[in-house]
Chains A and B, each alone.
Chain A
Amino acid sequence: AQKVTQAQTEISVVEKEDVTLDCVYETRDTTYYLFWYKQPPSGELVFLIRRNSFDEQNEISGRYSWNFQKSTSSFNFTITASQVVDSAVYFCALVRNTGFQKLVFGTGTRLLVSP
């Protein structure tokens, strides 16, 4: 069975602070994909990143960076110099790369960035 755990229910920071959102996953599959999605107050789900299980390189995109560590089954997301517009619920998700896929989501972390 697959499982994604986002232990942080809610995080509050002040603008310009750095913040890391944790994601720990469980799977017996050797090949899989990990994702992060953002759900702003408007409600839509916005894709942020896809990472396959063979690629453990960290990735940086502007103020966003992701740290994938298979040894600890973690795929953490860091926002540098947070902004009010980063306020949203962030979901980590996992999908197997065999057979027919379904995204298994974590419970989400609500990030509140205050001015």
Chain B
Amino acid sequence: DTAVSQTPKYLVTQMGNDKSIKCEQNLGHDTMYWYKQDSKKFLKIMFSYNNKELIINETVPNRFSPKSPDKAHLNLHINSLELGDSAVYFCASSLRDRVGVTEAFFGQGTRLTVV
């Protein structure tokens, strides 16, 4: 009954490989996000989808491509991995209701290590 789940939790891969991280939420939220946390713990948004539509795309290399097959899923595919891609990637979801914005719930994070 995890609210936001992402897999895998750990991912170790070689430079140049392509990898995907999957995320699913069962909260009925309409907006999903990918955030990147670097080695200094700084959290920065990468992408946001609302009802399967891309609404926020920060300055992220084209090698990163999000895909949202439905409102409950937002996957992140990364091509040609580089050493600098090593980080923790968090998926999150939230809902915009009549009052305003709900809090974002985060998955447990995927620690990506590129060697």
Contact = CB atoms under 8 A, between A and B. Distances in A.
B4 to A, nearest CB: 10
A47 B101 contact: no
Given A101-B94, A102-B48, A105-B43, A47 B100 contact: no
A47 B103 contact: yes
B103 A35 contact: yes
Contact of B106 (A45, A89, A95): A45
A89 B56 CA distance: 26
Given A43-B88, A43-B111, 8 more contacts: A33-B101, A44-B107, A45-B92, A50-B102, A100-B56, A101-B96, A103-B104, A110-B41
16 contacts: A43-B111, A44-B109, A45-B90, A45-B109, A47-B104, A47-B106, A52-B100, A89-B41, A91-B43, A95-B101, A100-B48, A102-B48, A105-B44, A107-B42, A108-B42, A110-B41
Interface of B: 31, 33, 35, 40-45, 48, 50, 55-56, 88, 90, 92, 94, 96, 100-109, 111
